[in-house]
Amino acid sequence: MLKLTDSGCGQHQARHLALKGVTAALVGRLIFNLPLNDGGHHYICEHGHTHRLTLLQPQEQVTSSPPGRGRAGGTAPAH
């Protein structure tokens, strides 16, 4: 499970998110590609305001592969 907080902006309320499974794995990988400043990852919303995402879980669990899937760059099992 991926737990994070979005700081919000003048147009969006702050909120806590909890994601599971493949969604958590995808979002976790996307978050780690965002700029890291002031203790969080940042992105710009559709209104042009900066949001800060703060992860509430250790990085090792966020970057792990979803259950039943190999890591990117690995070899696929023979069928």
Domain of residue 46, residue span: 2-62
pLDDT in tens, 32-49: 899 888 888 999 999 999
In-domain check, residue 29: yes
pTM for this prediction: 0.62
pLDDT attached to residue 56: 86
**pLDDT at position 75 over 80:** no
Dist. CA 20–CA 10, nearest whole Å: 28
* pLDDT for 72 beyond 60: no
The number of distinct structural domains making up the chain is 1
Cα separation, 9 vs 47, whole angstroms: 9
In-domain check, residue 77: no
List, for residues 45-65, the tens digit of each pLDDT value. 999 999 999 988 654 444 544
In terms of Cβ atoms closer than 10 Å to its own Cβ (0-12, 13-18, 19+), residue 19 is middle
Spatial CA neighbour of 14 closest among 58, 38, 50: 50
Tell which residue, 72, 61, 71, 41, has the closest CA to residue 1: 61
